[in-house]
């Protein structure tokens, strides 16, 4: 098997042979944290809505658990 038969999977292989506009879709110069912060700012309403929804589910779970505890204590008091 010749070396030409094995595909080169190295990061960025052959990118410099492309035009500059094509290179921009393959080369990412910005860091992940900065991009995540930008995405978070762009989607702040959706993220806040999901956060509030999960918080309401958690709070309702705590209320139902407290209700169950008080029901169990009421049954125990009747014994």
Query: For a pLDDT cut of 90, what percent of the chain falls above it?
Result: 53
Domain extents for the chain?
3-77
Rounded to whole angstroms, the Cα distance separating 7 from 21 reads 24
Find, among 23, 22, 27, 31, the residue nearest to 11 by Cα.
27
Contact 18, 26 (CB under 8 A): yes
Taking only the tens place, the pLDDT of each residue in 2-40 is: 656 766 667 777 777 888 788 777 777 778 888 899 999
pTM of the model: 0.56
């Amino acid at each position: 098997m010749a070396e030409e038969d094995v595909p080169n999977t190295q990061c960025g292989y052959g990118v410099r042979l492309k035009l500059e506009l094509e290179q921009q879709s393959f080369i990412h110069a910005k860091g992940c944290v900065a991009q995540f912060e930008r995405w978070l700012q762009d989607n702040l309403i959706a993220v806040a809505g999901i956060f509030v929804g999960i918080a309401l589910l958690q709070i309702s779970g705590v209320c139902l658990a407290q209700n169950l505890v008080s029901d169990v204590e009421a049954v125990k008091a009747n014994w």
